[in-house]
Amino acid sequence: MTMKSTARAVWEHDLLKGSGTVHFMSGAAPDLPVSWAARTEASNGKTSPEELLAAAHAACYSMAFSAGLARNGTPPDRLDVQAVATFDKVGDAWRVTTMELSVTGKVPKITQQKFDELAGAAKEGCPISNAIKGNVEIRLTTRLVPSGS
Protein backbone atom coordinates (compact mmCIF):
# COMPACT_ATOMS: atom_id res chain seq x y z
CA MET A 1 0.00 0.00 0.00
CA THR A 2 1.33 3.41 -0.93
CA MET A 3 0.22 6.61 0.76
CA LYS A 4 0.99 10.05 -0.59
CA SER A 5 0.70 13.21 1.52
CA THR A 6 0.45 16.54 -0.23
CA ALA A 7 1.02 20.10 0.89
CA ARG A 8 1.30 23.29 -1.13
CA ALA A 9 3.21 26.51 -0.48
CA VAL A 10 2.63 29.88 -2.08
CA TRP A 11 5.30 32.59 -1.73
CA GLU A 12 4.98 36.23 -2.72
CA HIS A 13 7.75 38.80 -3.27
CA ASP A 14 11.44 38.46 -2.41
CA LEU A 15 12.94 36.23 0.26
CA LEU A 16 13.63 38.81 2.95
CA LYS A 17 10.48 40.93 2.73
CA GLY A 18 8.11 38.40 1.23
CA SER A 19 5.92 35.86 2.92
CA GLY A 20 3.83 32.88 2.10
CA THR A 21 1.42 30.24 3.26
CA VAL A 22 1.54 26.50 3.57
CA HIS A 23 -1.66 24.64 2.73
CA PHE A 24 -2.34 21.08 3.89
CA MET A 25 -4.35 19.29 1.22
CA SER A 26 -5.87 16.98 3.87
CA GLY A 27 -7.59 19.95 5.48
CA ALA A 28 -6.27 18.79 8.86
CA ALA A 29 -4.93 22.24 9.66
CA PRO A 30 -5.64 25.78 8.50
CA ASP A 31 -3.24 27.46 6.10
CA LEU A 32 -0.12 28.49 8.00
CA PRO A 33 1.81 31.69 7.31
CA VAL A 34 5.56 31.33 6.70
CA SER A 35 8.38 33.87 6.45
CA TRP A 36 12.16 34.10 6.28
CA ALA A 37 12.17 35.99 9.58
CA ALA A 38 10.46 33.01 11.25
CA ARG A 39 13.48 30.94 10.21
CA THR A 40 16.22 33.28 11.39
CA GLU A 41 14.84 35.87 13.83
CA ALA A 42 11.45 35.79 15.55
CA SER A 43 8.38 33.86 14.52
CA ASN A 44 5.87 36.70 15.01
CA GLY A 45 3.02 34.24 14.62
CA LYS A 46 4.47 32.66 11.48
CA THR A 47 6.01 29.23 11.09
CA SER A 48 9.03 27.94 9.22
CA PRO A 49 9.91 24.80 7.29
CA GLU A 50 12.11 23.82 10.24
CA GLU A 51 9.22 24.07 12.70
CA LEU A 52 7.09 21.98 10.35
CA LEU A 53 9.91 19.41 10.13
CA ALA A 54 10.18 19.34 13.93
CA ALA A 55 6.40 18.83 14.22
CA ALA A 56 6.52 16.01 11.69
CA HIS A 57 9.42 14.37 13.52
CA ALA A 58 7.76 14.65 16.94
CA ALA A 59 4.54 13.11 15.62
CA CYS A 60 6.30 10.34 13.72
CA TYR A 61 8.61 9.49 16.61
CA SER A 62 5.75 9.35 19.13
CA MET A 63 3.91 6.87 16.89
CA ALA A 64 7.01 4.72 16.31
CA PHE A 65 7.83 4.66 20.03
CA SER A 66 4.23 3.87 20.97
CA ALA A 67 4.23 0.93 18.54
CA GLY A 68 7.50 -0.41 19.95
CA LEU A 69 6.24 -0.14 23.52
CA ALA A 70 3.02 -1.97 22.58
CA ARG A 71 5.00 -4.75 20.86
CA ASN A 72 6.98 -5.05 24.11
CA GLY A 73 3.72 -5.57 26.04
CA THR A 74 4.11 -2.20 27.78
CA PRO A 75 1.87 0.26 25.93
CA PRO A 76 2.31 3.84 27.10
CA ASP A 77 -0.25 5.76 29.09
CA ARG A 78 1.29 8.91 27.61
CA LEU A 79 4.27 10.01 25.53
CA ASP A 80 5.19 13.68 25.35
CA VAL A 81 7.70 14.29 22.54
CA GLN A 82 9.40 17.57 21.76
CA ALA A 83 11.54 17.99 18.65
CA VAL A 84 13.85 20.95 18.14
CA ALA A 85 15.27 21.53 14.65
CA THR A 86 18.38 23.73 14.59
CA PHE A 87 18.80 25.91 11.49
CA ASP A 88 22.38 27.16 11.13
CA LYS A 89 24.48 28.90 8.54
CA VAL A 90 27.21 26.48 7.49
CA GLY A 91 29.70 28.12 5.18
CA ASP A 92 27.67 30.01 2.59
CA ALA A 93 24.50 27.95 2.99
CA TRP A 94 21.75 27.51 5.55
CA ARG A 95 20.92 24.00 6.69
CA VAL A 96 19.19 21.99 9.40
CA THR A 97 22.13 20.71 11.42
CA THR A 98 20.54 18.90 14.37
CA MET A 99 17.21 17.53 15.53
CA GLU A 100 16.89 17.09 19.26
CA LEU A 101 14.17 14.69 20.35
CA SER A 102 13.11 14.73 24.00
CA VAL A 103 10.57 12.19 25.18
CA THR A 104 8.86 11.96 28.55
CA GLY A 105 6.91 8.78 28.98
CA LYS A 106 4.41 7.45 31.43
CA VAL A 107 4.66 3.72 30.83
CA PRO A 108 3.52 1.13 33.37
CA LYS A 109 5.64 -1.93 34.13
CA ILE A 110 8.81 -0.96 32.29
CA THR A 111 12.35 -0.38 33.51
CA GLN A 112 14.34 2.73 32.62
CA GLN A 113 16.81 0.51 30.75
CA LYS A 114 14.09 -1.06 28.57
CA PHE A 115 12.43 2.34 28.06
CA ASP A 116 15.74 3.79 26.82
CA GLU A 117 16.38 0.76 24.58
CA LEU A 118 12.97 1.03 22.93
CA ALA A 119 13.29 4.82 22.67
CA GLY A 120 16.53 4.37 20.73
CA ALA A 121 14.99 1.74 18.48
CA ALA A 122 12.10 4.10 17.71
CA LYS A 123 14.59 6.84 16.79
CA GLU A 124 16.25 4.46 14.34
CA GLY A 125 12.97 3.15 12.90
CA CYS A 126 10.94 6.34 12.62
CA PRO A 127 10.38 7.19 8.92
CA ILE A 128 11.14 10.89 9.47
CA SER A 129 14.37 9.96 11.28
CA ASN A 130 15.27 7.81 8.29
CA ALA A 131 14.43 10.63 5.86
CA ILE A 132 16.91 13.03 7.51
CA LYS A 133 19.50 10.52 8.77
CA GLY A 134 22.94 11.15 7.29
CA ASN A 135 22.18 14.84 6.75
CA VAL A 136 21.03 15.88 10.22
CA GLU A 137 22.43 14.78 13.57
CA ILE A 138 19.59 13.30 15.62
CA ARG A 139 19.94 13.45 19.41
CA LEU A 140 17.62 11.77 21.91
CA THR A 141 16.97 12.34 25.61
CA THR A 142 14.49 10.29 27.60
CA ARG A 143 12.62 10.63 30.85
CA LEU A 144 10.42 7.94 32.37
CA VAL A 145 7.92 9.17 34.93
CA PRO A 146 6.27 6.91 37.50
CA SER A 147 2.90 5.54 36.43
CA GLY A 148 1.23 6.91 39.56
CA SER A 149 2.13 10.50 38.55
pLDDT, tens digit, 9 for 90 and up, residues 86-141: 999 999 999 999 999 999 999 999 999 999 999 999 999 999 999 999 999 999 99
**Range 47-70 average pLDDT:** 97
- Read off the pTM: 0.94
Distance CA 83, CA 99 (A): 6
Q: Are 20 and 35 in contact (CB under 8 A)?
A: yes
Partner residues linked to 32 by β-bridges: 22
pLDDT on residue 147: 76
Q: Are 107 and 76 in contact (CB under 8 A)?
A: yes
Q: Which residue has the higher pLDDT, 86 or 43?
A: 86
Residue 148 clears pLDDT 80, i.e. is over it: no
Residue 149 clears pLDDT 70, i.e. is over it: no
Residue 10 clears pLDDT 90, i.e. is over it: yes
Residue 53 clears pLDDT 80, i.e. is over it: yes
Q: Which domains does the chain have, with CATH numbers?
A: 7-40 (no CATH), 49-145 (3.30.300.20)
Distance CA 60, CA 128 (A): 6
